[in-house]
Structure 1
């Protein structure tokens, strides 16, 4: 019983690292001051570079795992995160730090989808759905904790702020100690067993389904990220906050993410296919609240809604993929995560697009447009799920 408990804790602890790449985004001004001769656009790559290399390693992680094993691949990824996270603490060369951020993102990509594969192997049915929800909650929790710790350490120096990433070392020890080595043949055999069972009751075109999920999470991520990119500027322009006030909203998104992750399995059991519609509805409401807000409290509440909503949406897609008849759910999960990270990476261009077609005026105009975008997505998802449900019942 104890080993089962520690297995669960060890797998979930790895998820704490998944949302930490952006934890030092608030340190960019301090880094810009420290490296005054480096162009600001290059300094800002410290924030975006991990996502680019994460996408690369996510795509090749399953191939690597089949050659050297899932546990070893994940352990290497955690070790890379730990070492790359520590390098800026002791190094003052900007270009070495930039390389370390690339390695950091590559490390996260190595274990991002493979941990999902291990959860898929060790757990079944409702327990598996619960674990996907918990993973999502722990991801939000990790991002929130590292962001807070990094911000406090920034008072010492910008180098010290990177000490927040030292959380990766005990996580590596936990994972190596309590997660058993599983052969790739056993994972493949488990997948084949699931495929056989699912094929008794389904006629869906699952490759097409995966492409649909990847496309959906790509567009959702683009407009979801606008809440983090634009909220501080809107608060300042409306007159009820300063630039730094946006960090409180981001913290609320993290808290909402934890709540949403822990509630996910219960919501999925009750709402089933309409879980995605519920998540998009909450995003619509949250963006509208920010658009009409004239004080900080409604905006903080909207931040909580945004976090809850997204932690219904991403785990929903992961759960559907890993409860499907796919012969390679690991690759499908990897493609989903690539779509998610690509959407986040180009989110600033989504903001430019909305500003170009905006039919509203004023500082909050982009959030009115964002609310409309999510309302359209909500309607589309409702009708798609309605058609899917009617075909399933026919």
Structure 2
């Protein structure tokens, strides 16, 4: 029973890596409550947590060195709790703004560990299942929190922020069931490995670049999809919002797809995730109906789960056990930077080619994903060249079955 609860405690952490967007529906009502605050500033409430995530994700590893991984995770959860509920109890906008930054800081502290702990604690098929289930938990958790916040919204926008009370039992769960020594890597054969734990292999930077470009392109769906639907006259902004709601379920489904794909075609998991992304953007590029666009959105959600889970699995295969945690934080940080810069990336593409249409943005995304797919396929064919050469010598390095 304890092992099951430990697994659950680790998996549930993935929910809080995306919890900042759970209250996005409150923005219009907040604008009415603060008419003297610019709409742009109020909209920042949903994106400003990304800055905290970007800064504190790599910092989390140094914090863990000082106070332990478990205490770092619990500190992150406490910050998420306070940052989450403060808007529910105050009408002071500067304080609300600061609370969202605190939420991002807390998310950054636990983000990399939500994945690296799976790599360090589980092996083989169990590791595959845990990585897949992490995506399932993230997708379903995102839906549940967003839905709960929407229900609470009927009683005023401040009520929606009480959804972060769910963090309290999770803090207790982590405190009771996650071992105190979790995250520590001791390599008896290579005692010098600990001193190299903050070094980043060149192959990890390649993964980080992939994650950056993928997220910068994937986020086109968030910033351009509604405009695509409306500009082509086959739906309304509300229709687009409904279709985007399917993405949470698609991400959950993607977790199960990842488990199957990694079991049978591990070396090509990243390429398969990019294949889904390429097909999805192709459908969105040619779509003139809500049905076809809905299918495209679903495939995007599946691709995100497969791709991001494959990044974590690849980190395990391409670096030493002692470097997994910090390498994971670097890749996750680059992915978040990609998401944050996506609007500017899309604008730059439009300006360079002189085409401001939403459809063109997805055409550009299609080409980018196709290029990444070809590169990932090449890496899959030559995967043995990218593996960490001494992984078979490290007694505690996690091995993933091919």
TM superposition score normalised by structure 1: 0.90
Moved more, 222-231 or 110-119: 110-119
Aligned to 1:199: none
User: Are 2:171 and 1:177 aligned?
Assistant: no
Cα deviation, 1:137-168, whole Å, max 9, x if unaligned, reads: 21222222222222232222111111222221
Cα deviation, 1:5-36, whole Å, max 9, x if unaligned, reads: 11111111122111111222332222222211
Deviation at 1:175, TM superposition (A): 1.4
For the aligned residue pairs, the C-alpha RMSD in angstroms reads 2.4
Q: Is the 8 A contact 2:128 2:263 kept in 1?
A: no
User: Are 2:310 and 1:313 aligned?
Assistant: no
CA change 1:151–1:183 in 2 (3 A) is: closer
Q: Which whole-Å CA distance do the structure 2 matches of 1:365 and 1:252 have between them?
A: 23
Q: Which whole-Å CA distance do the structure 1 matches of 2:139 and 2:148 have between them?
A: 14
Aligned to 2:232: 238
Pairing 1:111-260 to 2, within 5 Å after superposition: 111-182=110-181, 187-189=184-186, 207-260=201-254
Aligned length: 381
Pairing 1:230-379 to 2, within 5 Å after superposition: 230-326=224-320, 327-358=322-353, 363-379=358-374
Cα deviation, 1:299-346, whole Å, max 9, x if unaligned, reads: 111111111111111111111212444232111011011001000000
Q: Is the 8 A contact 2:350 2:356 kept in 1?
A: no
Q: Is the 8 A contact 1:228 1:246 kept in 2?
A: no
Q: Which whole-Å CA distance do the structure 2 matches of 1:237 and 1:386 have between them?
A: 41
Q: Which whole-Å CA distance do the structure 2 matches of 1:343 and 1:87 have between them?
A: 28
Q: Is the 8 A contact 2:75 2:106 kept in 1?
A: yes
CA change 1:325–1:293 in 2 (3 A) is: closer
Pairing 1:77-88 to 2, within 5 Å after superposition: 77-88=76-87
Q: Is the 8 A contact 1:252 1:301 kept in 2?
A: no
Deviation at 1:257, TM superposition (A): 0.6
Cα deviation, 1:38-72, whole Å, max 9, x if unaligned, reads: 12221121111111011111111111112111111
Q: Which whole-Å CA distance do the structure 1 matches of 2:83 and 2:219 have between them?
A: 25
2:114 match: secondary structure: helix
Cα deviation, 1:103-139, whole Å, max 9, x if unaligned, reads: 0010011111123333233212221222122112212
Q: Is the 8 A contact 2:117 2:182 kept in 1?
A: no
Q: Which whole-Å CA distance do the structure 2 matches of 1:195 and 1:386 have between them?
A: 32
Cα deviation, 1:338-363, whole Å, max 9, x if unaligned, reads: 00100000010121123224487855
CA change 1:238–1:311 in 2 (3 A) is: same
Cα deviation, 1:69-103, whole Å, max 9, x if unaligned, reads: 11111111111111211111111111100100000
CA change 1:18–1:131 in 2 (3 A) is: same
Q: Is the 8 A contact 1:358 1:366 kept in 2?
A: no
2:155 match: secondary structure: coil
TM superposition score normalised by structure 2: 0.88
Moved more, 207-216 or 149-158: 149-158
Q: Unpaired segments of 5 or more residues in structure 2?
A: 194-198, 388-402
